[in-house]
Structure 1
Amino acid sequence: MAIAIFDFDGTIISRDSLPDFLIRTCGWKAFLLRLPWIALLKGAALTGFLSTHRAKELVISSFLRGMRTDEFRQACLEYASRIPAFVYPTALDEIRRHQEKGDKIAIISASVPDWIRPWAQTIGIRLVEGTELEVKGQMLTGRFSTPNCKGSEKVRRLRRLYPDFASETLYVYGDSSGDKELLALANVPYYKPFNNK
């Protein structure tokens, strides 16, 4: 038996689910109105003026702060129903291969897991880790309740899910610099394994 860890955006699916979710949920007009703000925050993160955690949090806050949790949950379910159209067929084949072998499988993503989990459950993946949103009084605060799930945070999530992972063969599938720490731990690392097929 082995452990297979998959990134989501750009690895299992062919796009970045965060802006796609925000556009689908809040509309193109809302997205375009915020585009200068998004570009400013991205620039601030790239230059080190803001952490990527804070920049991402501010982007999400500008769209989702104050949204009721039931509305958010429904939006996530609706978005999850669209995910099959974005999945790389070869990624799904690889997931099935691990399932047939009886391997342990998890998705560890920098994205918000609320719209990944409903889709993952449909293909038999129970464990999904990501950047969780803070909720107070049945509303989204616009802040994160966990660290941004990238880099070393992905390793921390792996250790929490599978404390004894070093005793098993570890497969890791990723496509960005945010996956490099996980990939470095893998017995069998795959970088951008599906998006060129």
Structure 2
Amino acid sequence: MNLALFDLDHTLIPLDSDYEWGQFLVRIGAVDPEDFARRNAAFYAQYEAGTLDPVEYLEFALGTLARFPRSQLDAWHGRFMDEVIRPALRQSALDLLRRHQDEGDLIAIITATNRFVTEPIARALGVDNLIAAEPELDAQGEITGKLRGIPTSGPGKVIHANDWLATRGKTLRDFGRSYFYSDSQNDIPLLSAVTHPVATNPNALLRAHALAQGWPILNLFE
């Protein structure tokens, strides 16, 4: 059995689900359009530049979710899937996932975005295993606004991938081949930890690094 790990945003889908969720909340009038859009855009620019503080951003994102009951959030997310995510799904990404599934590989999506936003997207992609930033839930299942554990970004992806594999009694070394597909230089730590890193729809910084390292480059959305 081989291992195939996938980033989500701009890797398997041609957008940033966290940013688009924020824009969706603005469009439906759930949040203040000026203040939220300004902060959401600033955090996204920091992510693109590789300067984002993941804890600061997650506290912002999860704090926004905590303002609403889970039933309302789930109803909004259903609309978000129909209006934003499903129209953006690409057959090329689905085919890549199916190829690894058909080969019997162990597959997981590992994303810096929180589980509330990404779990329905992983289901739509047909992926059962999701490693994501975990929002704290209260006894009633409501989101408290706090993060559980460490962020699933940068070096944190390596830690979370190893922890997830440990629950299955495995390590990265137990696989003949371990793949990780990602678009961002933020994921260089995990890309460097697998045997088969693939720069997928890479931004300029990751493209330059991949070329220097001799890593393959895959463009799914051209």
Q: If the TM-score is normalised by the length of the shorter chain, which range does it land in?
A: 0.7 to 0.9
Q: TM-score, with normalisation over the residues of structure 2? A: 0.75
Q: 2:190 matched to which residue of 1?
A: 182
Distance 1:59 1:166, change over 3 A: same
Alignment of 1:1-197 (within 5 A): 1-27=1-27, 30-38=32-40, 52-61=53-62, 63-81=64-82, 82-136=84-138, 138=140, 139-162=142-165, 163-168=170-175, 169-192=177-200, 193-195=218-220, 197=222
Q: Report the RMSD for the aligned CA atoms in angstroms.
A: 2.8
Quick one: which amino acid aligns to residue 88 of structure 1?
Answer: R
Equivalence for 2:215: none
- Conserved? CA contact 1:183–1:190, under 8 Å: yes
Structure 1 residue 175 displacement after superposition? 0.8
Q: Percent identity?
A: 23
- The answer to which of 94-103 and 64-73 deviates more is 64-73
Q: Which structure would you say has the larger RCO, counting Cα contacts within 8 Å and 6 or more residues apart?
A: 1
Q: Which runs of 5 or more structure 1 residues have no equivalent in the other structure?
A: none
TM-score between the two structures when normalised by the length of structure 1: 0.83
- 1 CA distance for matches of 2:65 and 2:174? 41
- Deviations along 1:46-78, whole A, 9 cap, x unmatched? 897xx7123203431553232112222333333
Question: How far 1:129 sits from its partner (Å)?
Answer: 1.0
Aligned residues, how many?
195
Give the Cα separation in 1 of the matches to 2:13 and 2:50. Answer: 28
Q: For structure 2, list consecutive stretches of 5 or more residues without a partner in the other structure.
A: 201-217
Which whole-Å CA distance do the structure 2 matches of 1:160 and 1:24 have between them? 33
For residues 123 and 18 of structure 1, what CA distance do their matches in structure 2 show? 17
Residues 156-175 of structure 1, C-alpha deviations (whole Å, 9 max, x = no match): 12112223221211010001
Question: Match of 1:130, SS?
Answer: strand
CA–CA distance in structure 1, aligned partners of residues 26 and 45 of structure 2: 23
* TM-superposed deviation, 1:39: 5.7
